[in-house]
Amino acid sequence: MINESILSVTDLSVSYWDGPVESIVVESMRLAFAKGSWTAVVGANGSGKSTLARAMAGLIGIRTGSMEIATGNRIHIVLQNPETQLLGDTIREEFELSLKHRHAAAHVTTHDSQLLNILKEAGLQMPLDTPIHQLSGGQKQLLNIACCLILEADVLILDEATSMLDPASRELVLSLIRRLHRNGKTVIWITHRTEELVYADRVLLLEQGKIAFDDSVRQFCYGNTDDTVSPCEQHGMTLPYVVQVVRQLERRGLQFGQQPLHPEELGQAVAVLCR
Amino acid sequence: MPLTVEGLRVVQEASADKPIVDGVSFHLQDRSLTLLIGATGSGKTTLLRAISGLVELAEGKVCYDDKPLWIKPGKADRTQLLRQAISFQFPEHQLFANSIAKEFAYSLKPYRLDRKERLLRSEAAMCDVNLSNVSLNGSPFALSGGQKRRLAVATALSTRTPWLLLDEPSAGMDGRSLHQLKEHMCQWKQAHSIVMATHDWETFLPIADRVLLIANGRLLADLQPDALLEQPELLQQAGVGCPASLRVTHALQQVGIVSSSKLYAPEELAESILHAHANAGSGLSAASATDASWSSGECADLHTYHSDETSSEPSDNSSDNQVQRKWVYRQLAGLKWLMYTTLSFVILFMNGWWGAGIAMLLACGSFMLLTKQDVRQGIRLSRPLLYFILIAGTISGLRWTSGDWTSIFDLQEAMLTVRRMSRFFAITLIGFVFTLSTSTAEMKRGLERALRWGERVLPIEMISLAAALILRFVPLIVNEAQRFSVITAARGKKLVKQGKVRLRDVHVFVIPLLLSLFQMVEDFITAMEIKGHRPKGERK
């Protein structure tokens, strides 16, 4: 079955004006995101990742092109800095501020139990009246994601949502996104860390506002069988740890049917080999 | 020149019983790279600042070359201060000058070098960070984000201090830049001893000589990088996450391939897997592999540990906020507005010293309604105003009568100014009470209610939220101001009390502060747009 695309952009260009000079940051991009897919977007600083994300979230104007969202679906974005995205003082207020505008017409009332459920789904087990300044950076990002959930987002764009967090908090956010992806959310995950790619199913590499690579994660990390360097290495990125181990094993004669990407897959694959 | 830290204890002014850093002792050798690893809020930054003489110690000693950094409380040895350079988190935020040369000139000023030497060092430092193709006359603001960061680090390098203290130099870097930084670090190690607080410790571990693990302000472990690989449980205790390599080890333990829990290098792990594979081929099958019940949550124990850790984070005012809010916090925003306006009018119509006195009493009285933490915040906010009034009073008291030196200062005139201004001061103080005791949403709701009449013609929602946010913005400005005052003090190598800036350093402080505030405003506007607060019809 060919997955229907939930979001597609055609000929998308975005530019910034610096005085009289126009610099094009995203250039004639054509992309489609399948429903329920997880796309990792990588690329050096200044390659246009954030601009693309913000354009897709409708936060900045576009120069040319068009964007199509499957009817009835919503896109929400979580940005890098956990400190400057929350406007309320308590979790309840934050939810209220998020909800108010969306349901302004329908006047949907939301019960505490519903709010608490969503909070719990996001991995935050705490009262609704918890002051936001008491949350850690990671918890704030979880709350930002919870706000997307409350607005029934179908597509979640995470623009380096983990880059300002410590490793423990990064894991919390990543495991929440894995959970949400399993439950059918479409994820667009912008990151610098190759270790965070391994759970995605597609890698989109941007270079100077253009798509330089667009294929599966496996292809990105391992390349074709006759390649000496994979696209990941070609673009100066560190290979994920699992891939490094598998590379060593392959060099020493072990063959894998399907090359593993993340720890769980490696464990399974090795168990099969040693049986 | 070794660095010795003994029984270090740092407390926050307000909560002396909860030290940020406590009982930390270590001894670091010359020309070494030491990693400071710990979760957010574990005290890494404070420890670095204590070593660099930017925060006062409650107890303990910091010695460079066996000579103490602090001569007596509140007074650090200047020559010792010149022995280290510190680079802060997001160092690119600290740039202020209109040319790169001036950035260097500022950082090098305390070292009293001649022009030629300054130029030489600036050029060398630019080379050290791969910016040799950038002209020293260019503006630092024309550089890209990554270049700005490297420039900021270069200004620290140019001081050629024996010790280099780096706070999260790799935060938010892309893979390639991270790799470059690692290479630079190997180079810098030749000339400096480096202490680096970092979350990217996996990258730097191979080139490090020493690891200090910090948890809850205490030194959890002080060991060689290799030793850390053997004891991954320490990472768990420090709450710094489960690196990919450890995750793999856990996954392989589950299927009985490896037995010891440690952080393997990829080659090493490949070796163990091959070994297991060979054994399996010769009939010695790993028994546990076949019946190993598979679970994908092999790091679950770590996760639960972390969530416990974060939820029990110290929060010094939970009791104030959660259990029962104080009276003034529970009142309606509109009512508070009304009271505030009335009080302001009353104060404005009062005359003479009596009036000023009553105004101040009212202001102080209303401060009593706040929680302890907010009172502190309020005092911090009002201090600059107080200075302003005193300065204004002094200036207005000055009399320029030629030849007559006896009447150079007119006390009466000065007091008159102070008295007049003190009423406004009182009004501002009460305003702080209002802002501190009212949350953004409450304020927004109150304003919305008040502005309801204009709903048809004005975007009331947006206006009221923006107004509420502006009021909430004040404390953020104060925090940012403190951050940049510390940076300014560090670059100028002058010990200034925390939160204060020398007059001649004002530009070093104000420009980055303003830039950072603009960024925050932009971020808030974006956040408002994300929440859907934008003019109608704009959204697609």
* Lowest-pLDDT choice from B354-363, B513-522, B531-540: B531-540
**How distant is the alpha carbon of residue B465 from its chain centre?**
27
Closest Cα in chain A, distance from residue B211 (Å): 17
pLDDT at B494 over 90: no
Closest Cα in chain A, distance from residue B395 (Å): 40
Residue B523 to residue A136, Cβ atoms within 8 A:
no
Residue type, A146: A
Among partner residues A58, A254, A267, which is closest to B252 by beta-carbon distance? A267
Closest Cα in chain B, distance from residue A93 (Å): 6
Average pLDDT over residues B92-112: 90
CA B132/CA B150 separation, integer angstroms: 11
ipTM of the predicted structure?
A: 0.84
pLDDT tens-digit readout, B271-281: 888 888 888 76
Residue B441 to residue A89, Cβ atoms within 8 A:
yes
pTM for the model stands at 0.76
Which pair of structure tokens corresponds to residue B395? 């200036």
For residues A76 and A25, membership in a common domain is answered with yes
Residue B306 to residue A139, Cβ atoms within 8 A:
no
- Domain assignment of residue A220, yes or no: no
Which pair of structure tokens corresponds to residue B67? 């000579």
* Lowest-pLDDT choice from A88-102, B78-92, B132-146: A88-102
Given this model, what pLDDT does residue B400 score? 64
pLDDT at B90 over 80: yes
Closest Cα in chain B, distance from residue A3 (Å): 24
Residue B440 to residue A93, Cβ atoms within 8 A:
yes
Given this model, what pLDDT does residue B212 score? 96
Taking CA–CA distances from A68, the nearest residue in chain B reads B540
* Percentage with pLDDT > 90 across chain A: 50
Residues 339-398 of B with CB under 8 A from A: none
* Lowest-pLDDT choice from A5-9, A25-29, A76-80, B319-323: B319-323
Higher pLDDT, B463 or B104: B104
Residues 156-195 of B with CB under 8 A from A: 171-179
Residue B254 to residue A267, Cβ atoms within 8 A:
yes
Residue A171 to residue B527, Cβ atoms within 8 A:
no
Among partner residues A79, A138, A270, which is closest to B526 by beta-carbon distance? A79
CATH code of the domain containing A170: 3.40.50.300
Collapsing DSSP to helix, strand or coil, B113 comes out as coil
Given this model, what pLDDT does residue B294 score? 37
- Domain assignment of residue A77, yes or no: yes
Higher pLDDT, B210 or B171: B210
Residue B255 to residue A271, Cβ atoms within 8 A:
yes
Which chain A residues are Cβ-neighbours of B462 within 8 angstroms?
A: none
pLDDT at B465 over 80: no
Given this model, what pLDDT does residue B340 score? 82
Q: CB of B14 within 8 A of CB of B215?
A: no
For residues A22 and A94, membership in a common domain is answered with yes
Q: Which helix (H) or strand (E) holds B211?
A: strand B210-215
Average pLDDT over residues B14-19: 74
pLDDT tens-digit readout, B173-203: 887 888 889 998 998 898 899 999 999 888 8
Q: Which among B344, B361, B345 has a CA at the least distance from the CA of B353?
A: B361
Given this model, what pLDDT does residue B119 score? 93
Q: CB of A66 within 8 A of CB of A9?
A: yes
CA A27/CA A9 separation, integer angstroms: 12
Domains identified in chain A, total number: 2
For residues A16 and A112, membership in a common domain is answered with yes
* Lowest-pLDDT choice from A101-110, B21-30, B254-263: A101-110
Among partner residues A134, A137, A170, which is closest to B315 by beta-carbon distance? A134
Among partner residues A59, A88, A248, which is closest to B441 by beta-carbon distance? A88
Which chain B residues are Cβ-neighbours of A171 within 8 angstroms?
A: 241-242, 299, 302-303, 306
* Percentage with pLDDT > 70 across chain B: 80
Q: Which among B44, B51, B56, B12 has a CA at the least distance from the CA of B28?
A: B51
Given this model, what pLDDT does residue A101 score? 65
Average pLDDT over residues A68-83: 88
Q: What is the mean pLDDT of chain B?
A: 80
Closest Cα in chain B, distance from residue A245 (Å): 5
The answer, for A139 touching chain B at a CB cutoff of 8 Å, is yes
Given this model, what pLDDT does residue B308 score? 37
Closest Cα in chain A, distance from residue B136 (Å): 23
Task: Please give the sequence-ordered ranges of beta strands (E in DSSP) within B475-517, or none if there are none.
Answer: none
Which chain B residues are Cβ-neighbours of A236 within 8 angstroms?
A: 175-176, 179
Given this model, what pLDDT does residue A155 score? 95
Where b means 16+ CB within 10 Å and e means fewer, B485-522 reads bbbbbbbbbebeeeeebeeebeebbebbbebbeeebee
The answer, for A62 touching chain B at a CB cutoff of 8 Å, is no
Handedness of CA A137, A143, A144, A146 (dihedral sign): positive
pLDDT tens-digit readout, B32-87: 999 999 988 889 999 999 998 888 888 999 999 888 988 887 788 888 888 889 88
Residue A237 to residue B540, Cβ atoms within 8 A:
no
Q: What is the mean pLDDT of chain A?
A: 88
- Domain assignment of residue A235, yes or no: no
**Residue A37's domain spans which residues?**
5-213
Q: CB of B370 within 8 A of CB of B378?
A: yes
User: Mutate which of B245, B252, B255 to test chain A, going by most A C-beta atoms within 10 A?
Assistant: B255
Q: Which residue has the tokens 């969202």?
A: A69
pLDDT at B27 over 70: yes
Given this model, what pLDDT does residue B461 score? 66
Average pLDDT over residues B234-243: 87
Residue B175 to residue A58, Cβ atoms within 8 A:
no
Average pLDDT over residues B444-461: 68
CA A243/CA A195 separation, integer angstroms: 10
Given this model, what pLDDT does residue A3 score? 61
- Domain assignment of residue A223, yes or no: no
pLDDT tens-digit readout, A195-235: 999 999 999 999 999 999 999 999 999 998 777 889 999 98
Where b means 16+ CB within 10 Å and e means fewer, B64-76 reads beeeebbeeeeeb
For residues A193 and A251, membership in a common domain is answered with no
Residue B171 to residue A164, Cβ atoms within 8 A:
yes
Q: At CB < 8 A and 24+ separation, what contacts does B390-395 make? A: B390/B418, B392/B417, B392/B418, B392/B421, B393/B417, B393/B418, B393/B421
CA B308/CA A177 separation, integer angstroms: 20
Q: Which residue has the tokens 């505008």?
A: A101
CA A50/CA A160 separation, integer angstroms: 8
pLDDT tens-digit readout, A37-73: 999 999 988 889 999 999 999 888 888 999 999 988 8
- Residue B293 DSSP label: P
Taking CA–CA distances from B288, the nearest residue in chain A reads A271
The answer, for A3 touching chain B at a CB cutoff of 8 Å, is no
CA B236/CA B299 separation, integer angstroms: 10
- Last residue of one domain, picked from the residues A213, A230, A259: A213
Given this model, what pLDDT does residue B18 score? 82
For residues A140 and A256, membership in a common domain is answered with no
Residue A266 to residue B285, Cβ atoms within 8 A:
no
**How distant is the alpha carbon of residue A178 from its chain centre?**
10
Instruction: List residues bridging with B76 in a β-sheet.
Output: B70
Given this model, what pLDDT does residue A90 score? 87
For residues A185 and A264, membership in a common domain is answered with no
- Domain assignment of residue A153, yes or no: yes
CA A27/CA A19 separation, integer angstroms: 20
- Winning range, highest mean pLDDT, from A29-43, A81-95, B282-296: A29-43
Closest Cα in chain B, distance from residue A2 (Å): 27
Which pair of structure tokens corresponds to residue B237? 């205790």
Residue B244 to residue A169, Cβ atoms within 8 A:
no
- B282: pLDDT confidence band, cut at 50, 70 and 90? low
pLDDT at B414 over 80: yes
Backbone φ, ψ for residue A71 (5° rounding): -55, 140
- Last residue of one domain, picked from the residues A176, A195, A213: A213
Backbone φ, ψ for residue A151 (5° rounding): -90, 10
Taking CA–CA distances from A103, the nearest residue in chain B reads B532
Cα distances (angstroms) measured from residue A112 to each of A96, A134, B133, B333: 11, 20, 59, 23
- B324: pLDDT confidence band, cut at 50, 70 and 90? low
For residues A267 and A143, membership in a common domain is answered with no
Higher pLDDT, A141 or A106: A141
Given this model, what pLDDT does residue B460 score? 67
Q: Which helix (H) or strand (E) holds B483?
A: helix B460-492
Average pLDDT over residues B129-152: 89
pLDDT tens-digit readout, A234-263: 988 889 999 999 999 998 888 888 899 999
For residues A10 and A78, membership in a common domain is answered with yes
Average pLDDT over residues B287-304: 39
The answer, for A77 touching chain B at a CB cutoff of 8 Å, is yes
Residues 431-490 of B with CB under 8 A from A: 439-441, 461, 465, 469
Residue B439 to residue A126, Cβ atoms within 8 A:
no
Given this model, what pLDDT does residue A108 score? 55
Given this model, what pLDDT does residue A1 score? 41
Using a 10 angstrom Cβ sphere, with 0-12 exposed, 13-18 middle and 19 or more buried, the burial of residue A25 is buried
Higher pLDDT, B242 or A124: A124
Which pair of structure tokens corresponds to residue B203? 């990258």
Residue type, B22: D
- Domain assignment of residue A228, yes or no: no
Where b means 16+ CB within 10 Å and e means fewer, B351-389 reads eeeebbebbbebbeebbebbbeebbebbebbbeeeeeeb
For residues A10 and A98, membership in a common domain is answered with yes
Given this model, what pLDDT does residue B456 score? 64
For residues A154 and A251, membership in a common domain is answered with no
Average pLDDT over residues B411-435: 83
CA A142/CA A174 separation, integer angstroms: 10
Alpha helices, H only, B285-410: 287-291, 300-311, 318, 327-330, 333-348, 352-367, 372-397
Given this model, what pLDDT does residue A218 score? 94
For residues A163 and A254, membership in a common domain is answered with no
Collapsing DSSP to helix, strand or coil, B309 comes out as helix
* Percentage with pLDDT > 90 across chain B: 20
Average pLDDT over residues B101-108: 92
Where b means 16+ CB within 10 Å and e means fewer, B290-321 reads eebeeeeebbeebbebbbebbbeeebeeeebb
- Domain assignment of residue A65, yes or no: yes
Q: Which helix (H) or strand (E) holds A32?
A: strand A21-34
- Domain assignment of residue A227, yes or no: no
CB atoms within 10 A of CB B28: 21
- B510: pLDDT confidence band, cut at 50, 70 and 90? confident
User: Mutate which of B440, B530, B534 to test chain A, going by most A C-beta atoms within 10 A?
Assistant: B530
CA B343/CA B338 separation, integer angstroms: 9
- Residue A137 DSSP label: H
The C-alpha angle A26, A29, A35, rounded to 5 degrees, equals 120
Closest Cα in chain A, distance from residue B143 (Å): 12
- A105: pLDDT confidence band, cut at 50, 70 and 90? very low
CA B326/CA B367 separation, integer angstroms: 12
* Lowest-pLDDT choice from A128-132, B320-324, B372-376: B320-324
Residue A101 to residue B176, Cβ atoms within 8 A:
no
Cα distances (angstroms) measured from residue B37 to each of B33, B218, B222, B239, B483: 13, 12, 10, 10, 22
Residues 169-228 of A with CB under 8 A from B: 169-172, 175, 192-195
Instruction: Let me know how many helices (H) and strands (E) chain A has, helices first.
Output: 9, 9
For residues A155 and A19, membership in a common domain is answered with yes
CA B47/CA B86 separation, integer angstroms: 12
pLDDT at A107 over 70: no
The answer, for A125 touching chain B at a CB cutoff of 8 Å, is yes
Given this model, what pLDDT does residue A99 score? 83
Residue B172 to residue A127, Cβ atoms within 8 A:
no
Rounded-to-5 percentages of helix, strand, coil across chain B: 55, 10, 30
CA A245/CA A101 separation, integer angstroms: 50
